[in-house]
């Protein structure tokens, strides 16, 4: 189920006016990196996870932390795995319609990702950009370890189309301690997000309040999507003024004969709960359609 034409038009104008901020989830990296549920199932089998929800990465990671009495154990495993997988050259024609290549061509100043990898940075570099990476200081590790922020008082950096910011909301795999991974991490993350004024940089907060949000690479069951959206709404203390779009995979339990009926309900559910317009499908399908519509839209403006 695609977006209505008027929703597409809204999105395209937001992109053209640089008033769109992408949120990038794991589904954008699906061709190259394993999804969270696949990692969870592998760990569950390997480490004898005792419960039925073995597809929930945050819960299986919490189990590993408790089992080995080491909060860094699941982070180190995941961080090591991600570092071994290199992104492709997104400048190649064969990758033109992939989510990262399309997003990089939007020429926006800020990209927010809940992924730990650096695929978005690689895509931006392949398009001649000079991206700057930063991660959310949701815990005090960076402060204790003395890791400087690109937004320190002495810094003159401002995100631009040429030097866009890639903000890792759930941490960076190069700094394993910054990764939001276990159930307790998600709880601490959302608490600190709403209790501490300086968790998010001012430039990111301003962007969230003044631009349309484009969520791509998530599913409705994704804990990242639910926590992010509700957390941001609470943080801003306001309803979004601009329309938002989410590219969501339909729930896996939908039966073929009930698809249309259930998606109609979920469409109303997401608009009520999250105030968003939903494109039901995967990130690759959406990206190809966005590329086509954006090319046509830009040609009409010339």
Cβ neighbour number for residue 77 with a 10 Å cutoff? 17
Q: Residue 51: what are its φ and ψ, rounded to 5°?
A: -100, 175
What three-state secondary structure class fits 88? coil
- Summarize the confidence of residues 66-85 as an average pLDDT: 96
Judged against a pLDDT cut of 70, whether residue 254 lies above it is answered with no
Q: What are phi and psi of 258, to 5 degrees?
A: -115, 5
Residue 253 and residue 220 in contact, taking contact as beta carbons nearer than 8 Å: no
pLDDT for res 263: 61
> Can you give the pTM of this predicted structure?
0.92
For the residues 99-128, what does the mean pLDDT come to?
97
Q: Nearest-CA neighbor of 213 among 235, 246, 236? A: 246
Residue 251 confidence class, pLDDT cut points 50, 70, 90: low
Q: Treating both helix axes as pointing N-terminal to C-terminal, what angle do 183-195 and 223-236 enclose, rounded to 10 degrees?
A: 10
- The mean pLDDT value of the chain amounts to 88
Specify if 129 maps to a domain. Answer: yes
Domain limits at 171? 5-33+85-301
The tally of domains found in the chain comes to 1
Query: Residue 245: is its pLDDT beyond 60?
Result: yes
Domain membership flag for residue 40: no
Structural domain contains residue 99: yes
Categorize the per-residue pLDDT at 1 as very low, low, confident or very high, splitting at 50, 70 and 90: low
Establish if 68 belongs to a structural domain.
no
CATH assignment at residue 204: 3.40.50.1220
Range name among 117-131, 156-170, 206-220 with the lowest pLDDT average: 206-220
Mean pLDDT of 134-161: 92
For residue 131, being part of any structural domain is answered with: yes
In a domain, 228, yes or no: yes
Residue 45, domain member (yes or no): no
Q: Which of 297, 283, 291, 271 is nearest to 105 (CA)?
A: 291
Residue 78 covered by a domain: no
**More confidently predicted of 91 and 260:** 91
């Amino acid at each position: 189920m695609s977006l209505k034409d008027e929703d597409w038009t809204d999105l395209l104008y937001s992109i053209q006016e640089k008033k769109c901020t992408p949120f990038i989830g794991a589904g954008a990296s699906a061709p190259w990196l394993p999804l969270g549920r696949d990692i969870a199932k592998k760990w569950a089998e390997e480490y004898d996870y005792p419960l039925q929800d073995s597809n929930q990465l945050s819960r299986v990671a919490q189990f590993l932390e408790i089992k080995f009495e080491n909060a860094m154990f699941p982070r180190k495993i995941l961080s090591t795995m991600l570092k071994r997988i290199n992104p492709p050259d997104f400048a190649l024609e064969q990758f033109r319609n992939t989510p990262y290549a399309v997003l990089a061509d939007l020429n926006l100043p800020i990209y927010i990702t809940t992924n730990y990898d650096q695929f978005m940075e690689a895509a931006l570099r392949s398009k001649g950009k000079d991206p700057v990476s930063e991660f959310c200081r949701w815990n005090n590790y960076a402060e204790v370890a003395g890791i400087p922020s690109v937004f320190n008082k002495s810094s003159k950096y401002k995100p631009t189309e040429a030097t866009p910011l890639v903000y890792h909301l759930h941490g960076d795999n190069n700094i394993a301690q910054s990764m939001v991974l276990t159930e307790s991490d998600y709880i601490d993350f959302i608490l600190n997000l709403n209790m501490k004024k300086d968790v998010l940089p001012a430039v990111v907060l301003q962007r969230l309040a003044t631009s349309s949000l484009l969520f791509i690479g998530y599913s409705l069951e994704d804990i990242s999507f639910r926590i992010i959206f509700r957390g941001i709404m609470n943080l801003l203390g306001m309803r979004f003024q601009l329309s938002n779009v989410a590219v969501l995979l339909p729930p896996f339990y939908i039966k073929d004969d009930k698809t249309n009926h259930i998606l109609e309900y979920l469409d109303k559910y997401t608009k009520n709960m999250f105030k968003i317009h939903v494109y039901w499908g995967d990130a690759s399908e959406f990206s190809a359609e966005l590329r086509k519509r954006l090319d046509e839209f830009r040609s009409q403006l010339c």
